Structure 1
Amino acid sequence: MPYSGPLFERVANAPSVPPGLPLVIALTGFSDAGSAVSGLIEYLREDVEQTPLLIFSNDVLLDYRARRPIIAFDQDHLTDYRPARLELSLATDVLGHPFLLLAGYEPDFAWDAFTRTVLDFVSEAQVSTVAWVHAIPMPVPHTRPIGTTVSGSRTELIAAHSVWKPQTQVPATVGHLLEYRLAEDGASVVGFVLLVPHYLGDTEFPGATLEAIDRVSTATGLMFAVDGLREDDREYRERVDEQVRGNEELSRMVRGLEERYDAYMAGLGGTVPGIDEMELPSADELAAELERYLASRPGDDDKRAGNRG
């Protein structure tokens, strides 16, 4: 049983929140293809100025055995303990425009209480719009733009950016619940599902993070400096392309995905390209080859963090 206690703590001496700000939600959890959301959170925490307003309790919301915190071991002693973080903060974009940011892990427990807390804050702060992003693996090629499925109450964004509009049932995330309750309350809310190439789903794909940032900008008008991340994505794609070119089987599978994608986007198909499992090319070999190749890059995490600007 989870610990029973206060769900969150208000930060003492936190700045006052101007009314009418947009709220951006980025929560890792059930599905994070290409590390899109975790990359977005990392970018926002490292490159965006922010001040916590509410700090949520790990003891109440987090299953430690499912998502263990990190501790550093230095030869014969422990040097650093890094617990998970879930915070609601006041942040500013590159132009100094303020916004609210709810970022961190998806709660394992107390979804209803967590959702009520966020909705109460949205009302208290008179939030103007809410935007959230998550990512799922799809049989699409990395050589084409990342598509999105868009939901919520902002019909203009749905019409402009939703390339796949399924009628289905999916395992819910707390982001879905927040969107559902916000829409019930008549709030202006939009959710973006990034459709990430399935064979890159288990890698850290900078392009997925870039797409997440772009969707946040589209929904809020906020601006972010991403030159370093674009360079990371360029190098990443070059490595993927090199690996694909060197393997005929991989090349053949990617070409098949491209043909399905192009036919779908041209309006020749009624479903997502390759979604029929009978026609879906196996990605096992492709994913294994790419994972081995991409994992061999020395110092990539340090370089990516240093280049983001």
Structure 2
Amino acid sequence: MLERISGSLLDPHALYASDSELFHDPANRGLDMVMGFTGFADAGHVVKQITTELLETLESELVAVFDADQLIDYRSRRPHVSFVEDHLQDYQAPGLSLYRLVDGLGKPFLLLAGFEPDLQWERFARAVLHIVEQLEVNLVTWIHSIPMPVPHTRPVGVTVHGNRPELIEGISVWKPTVEVPAAVGHILELRLTEAGRKVAGYVIHVPHYLAEAEYPPAAVAGFEYLGAAMSLMLPADRLREAGREVGRQIAEQIEASEEVQNVVSRLESRYDEKAEGTVRRSLLADENDQLPNADDLGAAVEAYLASKEAGQ
């Protein structure tokens, strides 16, 4: 049973209702948390693919629900409803919720997923921080994606940020100093860092010419980076298969257009020029820049964690 936490409208706790049993269950203390919000960039629909796959594939329990009416601007982001002949049905109400999930190896973790709030960012951040502190969350990771002038024929790139050097050093392929439009995930990362909580954000690089469509390889890369950071076995198999089909479709389209071939070739040359002589630490790519299967990834995660423990 979800129960509204008492408080004034200015109280951040009043932004959500929680399942009291799950919220106070000691077994849910000290878990890692993944955050993914749709509505900001989401090139290649990476966040949508990842959160949908997690909720459709893994065992889940609803821990808390945020009040959409307080956080969303309906007129700028109108929900959809179906008109069927002479009546309305299937109203798609916006949702933003916290779930307890269990990965493929039986390890529990938390997922905060849904729309990016349009309103009350600071109050929302206080509410999330309260949840993190009450549940004694170990590590908070969040993911989003941006379009980049990179070719689809090279490994999917990532930029990592946050306050966990062991998750950042040697991983990022793009390390600029630049002013960017803020997302609610940025605000959450800042407030979590100020509160002394462990946090890491992953920005997946999506080829700009594929940014408007679903691009499963980018979602697979996101799964693998998140899984490596939190020692989770996440369900990427269906997306891998979808990525192979998308790859075949892209190859056919490129083959049919000399102009597109030239664009991709120029991007490849630029990518290779910048990548030459750059050594990146990665759990994901082998010497041939091939992404591993689930068994290879699991072995790599275990080896990496063992090496970190040995060095402590």
Per the TM superposition, whether the score is higher than 0.5 is: yes
Give the secondary structure class of the aligned counterpart of 1:160.
coil
Q: How far is 1:13 from its partner?
A: 4.5
Task: Note if contact 2:151-2:268 (Cα within 8 Å) is conserved in structure 1.
Answer: yes
Task: State the secondary structure of the residue aligned to 2:40.
Answer: coil
CA distance in 2, matches of 1:212, 1:74: 38
> Deviation per CA, 1:9-66, whole angstroms, max 9, x where unpaired?
1235446252210010011122110000111111112112211111001110011112
Report sequence identity in percent.
Answer: 45
Structure 2 matches for 1:228-239, cutoff 5 A? Answer: 228-239=238-249
Q: Which residue of the other structure, out of 69, 75, 84, is the alignment partner of 2:94? A: 84
Determine the structure 1 residue equivalent to 2:137. 127
SS at match of 2:170: helix
Provide TM-score, normalisation by structure 1.
0.82
> RMSD across aligned C-alpha pairs, in angstroms?
1.5
In the alignment, structure 1 residue 69 sits paired with structure 2 residue 79: yes
1:29–1:173: 8 Å Cα contact kept in structure 2? no
Correspondence for 2:51:
41
In 2, the alpha carbon distance for the partners of 1:65 and 1:267 equals 50
1:102 aligns with 2:112: yes
- 3-state DSSP class of the match of 1:81? coil
Choose from 180, 189, 199 the match for 2:199: 189
Residues 140-169 of structure 1: CA distance to partner in whole angstroms, max 9, x if unpaired?
A: 000011111110011122113111110011
Query: What do the CA deviations read for 1:253-294 (whole angstroms, capped 9, x no partner)?
Result: 1000000001111148xxxxxxxxxxxxxxxxxxxxxxxxxx
Residue 168 of structure 2: aligned partner = 158
Q: Give the CA deviation at 1:74.
A: 1.9
What residue identity is the alignment partner of 1:110? Answer: Q
* Structure 1 segments (4+ residues) deviating >3 Å: 12-15
Over 3 Å counting, the alpha-carbon distance change for 1:33 and 1:160 in structure 2 is same
The reply on whether 1:11 has 2:55 as its aligned counterpart is no
Residue 220 of structure 1 corresponds to 230
Structure 1 unaligned segments of length 5 or more: list them: 269-309
What are the superposed Cα offsets for residues 57-97 of structure 1, whole Å, 9 maximum, x if unpaired?
Answer: 11100111122122122222222212011001111111111
Code of the aligned partner of 1:57: D
Candidates 197, 201, 212, aligned match of 2:211: 201
8 Å CA contact retained: 1:22, 1:127: yes
Q: 2:190 aligns with which of 172, 180, 197?
A: 180
8 Å contact kept, 1:87–1:102: yes
Distance 2:34 2:200 in 1: 10
- Contact 2:22–2:28 (CA<8 Å) still a contact in 1? no
Code of the residue aligned with 1:254 in structure 2: it is V
Deviations 1:200-226 (A, max 9, x none): 010111112111211210211111232
2:289 alignment counterpart: none
Amino acid at match of 1:166: P
Aligned residues: 265
Given that residues 156 and 204 in structure 2 are in contact (C-alpha distance below 8 angstroms), is that contact kept between their aligned partners in structure 1?
yes
Unaligned runs of 5+ in 2: 1-8, 279-312
Residues 34, 135 of structure 1: 8 Å contact kept: yes
Look up the match of 1:148.
Answer: 158
1:175 counterpart SS class: helix
Partner Cα separation in structure 1 for residue 255 and residue 210 of structure 2? 16
Task: Supply the distance in 1 between the matched residues of 2:197 and 2:275 (Cα, whole angstroms).
Answer: 32
Question: Are the counterparts in 1 of residues 72 and 119 from structure 2 also a CA contact under 8 Å?
Answer: yes
- Please name the residue that 1:283 is paired with: none
Match of 1:51 in 2: 61
Question: Normalising by structure 2, what TM-score?
Answer: 0.82
SS state at 1:161 partner: coil
The residue type equivalent to 2:86 in the other structure is: D
User: 2:22, 2:76 → 1: CA distance?
Assistant: 32
Contact 2:54 2:235 in 1 (8 A): no
